[in-house]
Amino acid sequence: MESLLTWDLQMFLNINGRWINGFFDWLLPIVREPFIWAPLYLFLLVFVTYNFGWRGFLWIVFFLITFAICDQSSGFFKEFVGRLRPCRDPLISPYVRQLAIYCPMSGSFTSSHAANHFGVGMFCFVTLRPRIGKWAWLFFLWAAVIGYAQVYVGVHYPLDIVGGALLGLLAGSLSGGFFQRRIRLELEQTT
């Protein structure tokens, strides 16, 4: 366990302090903000409702349930584990390049950003892949960029992202699988 935490700290110091450049210093703090990613999700909600009618409405309900499960589960782990964020840890914080506007008071493990984005990403992948094909893989790329940004700006360790991602992938696959078995997005038949 100690070697895993040592690896985690070393990776954090590399991502946050060594593997840096001016473009990422500008881009990654912005990417993790809701005003950037919320329009994507809003577009998906409108797109699905417009194209799939009442099934689209149920898709939105499951999308929101997935998000809520991921967010609440991550909050539980943060409280239970009690790991300090790198930007709050008195031993680490002098070495942290904090690029986020603020450092949250909540715990570090698991990352709610990672859990939420990987959760809804997996839900979208499972439910939309039959309609959008290989483009569905972009949901995971999007979630990974946001997770990486959380480490880059100094508010999470890499293992926080991995834990959040696993939590989100599990929740998204369960909710997406249930949705696909019971409801499934199908085009409305017009007569």
Tell me how crowded residue 29 is: count the other CB atoms within 10 A of its CB.
17
Helix H or strand E encompassing 170: helix 158-182
Classified as helix, coil or strand, 188 is coil
Integer Cα distance of 154 and 173 in angstroms: 29
180 and 127 Cβ atoms separated by less than 8 Å: yes
Q: What is the DSSP letter of 53?
A: H
In this prediction the pTM is: 0.91
Integer Cα distance of 136 and 187 in angstroms: 18
Could you tell me what percent of the chain has a pLDDT over 70?
97
Q: pLDDT tens digits, residue range 155-177? A: 999 999 999 999 999 999 999 99
Q: pLDDT tens digits, residue range 99-116? A: 998 899 999 999 999 999
Question: What's the pLDDT band for 12 if we cut at 50, 70, 90?
Answer: very high
Question: What's the pLDDT band for 62 if we cut at 50, 70, 90?
Answer: very high
119 and 142 Cβ atoms separated by less than 8 Å: no
